Amino acid sequence: MKHSPQSLAVIAAAPQWQPAARELAQELDLPLLTETEPSRLEHPAYVLRRGDALQLCATGRKAPGPVEVDFVSGAAAHRRKYGGGKGQQIAKAVGVRSGFYPRVVDATGGLGRDAFVLCSLGCEVLVLERNPIVRALLADGLRRLREAAEQDAELAPLAGRLQLADDVDDSAGWLAGQAPESIPVVYLDPMFPPRGKSAKVKKEMVAFHQLVGSDEDADALLEPAYAACYYRTVVKRPRLAPWLAGKKPALSLEGKSGRFDIYTRHGVPG
């Protein structure tokens, strides 16, 4: 676990959220504070704010905005509607095409953005996330997606295709425990140390990276991922980053700031 009790606590967004905040604090073994506004706190450095949405907030008066998982509105909704469909690089990398929407295990879930894109393209996606704080954010985002899907027929199939695995502390170990060639596609996007001067890295995401850290053991994912996949393992990397585990992929799809390295085993249906 990347955090310590001194660096993170739980607060309620309003008094009526106090019971839910208490339950979350017990579940994650974190302190529960009575304050409801992160800006009025100097310590700890971060809080999980339990309200309509679960938010990870930096504390202090000049803190950046909160981080939450939102599959329903904002950037996720815009990309779902206008993101380019099967023409997107991620779709090509995974092998999506008309009539073929492979099941994907996203073994480094993070905030679930790529998993949701793959769901919106028609893939069933199982998300693994070992960090308990990030997993709590993901579970909350998935809960709100399913609630919204009850009122929105467009979201209902997406909510049905997205699943979060329970309590996976070691993605490499989980993958190693799967039968050989049993997962159509394994998708890896290890947390990479952010470039501090990049204008594209929002302040709130810098805070997220600081709390969660980078995946120092990411290289250990490739071998069990490739052993478990049937069609391919896809690795998302910053454009200039080295190959994962130093292994050259069969092919790469390169964009302006990132690339997808593809390790093929069997060809996808044509």
Distances (CA, A) of 145 to 53, 78, 130, 132, 148: 11, 15, 21, 20, 5
217 marked as binding residue: no
Q: In this structure, what token pair is assigned to residue 127? A: 């998300």
80 marked as binding residue: no
Which pLDDT tens digit goes with each residue over 120-165? Answer: 999 999 999 999 999 999 999 999 999 999 999 999 999 999 999 9
**Cα–Cα distance measured from residue 83 to residue 85, given in angstroms and rounded to the nearest whole number:** 6
130 marked as binding residue: yes
CATH code of the domain made up of 74-264? 3.40.50.150
Residue 241: Cβ-neighbour burial (10 angstroms; 0-12, 13-18, 19+): middle
Largest CA distance in the chain: 58
189 marked as binding residue: yes
% of the chain with per-residue pLDDT over 90: 75
Which pLDDT tens digit goes with each residue over 1-43? Answer: 444 446 899 999 999 999 999 999 999 999 999 999 999 998 9
**Cα–Cα distance measured from residue 109 to residue 117, given in angstroms and rounded to the nearest whole number:** 12
Q: In this structure, what token pair is assigned to residue 37? A: 């506004």
Closest alpha carbon to 72 in 14, 29, 120: 120
For tokens 């998935």, the residue is: 142
- pLDDT bin (cut points 50, 70, 90) of residue 49 is very high
35 marked as binding residue: no
Question: Which are the contacts of 112, defined by CB distance < 8 A and separation ≥ 6?
Answer: 69, 71, 106, 127, 138, 141, 142, 162
**Cα–Cα distance measured from residue 166 to residue 124, given in angstroms and rounded to the nearest whole number:** 17
Axis crossing angle, helix 113-121 with helix 74-82, rounded to the nearest 10: 30
For tokens 């000049």, the residue is: 62
Delimiting residues of CATH 3.40.50.150 domain(s) in the chain: 74-264
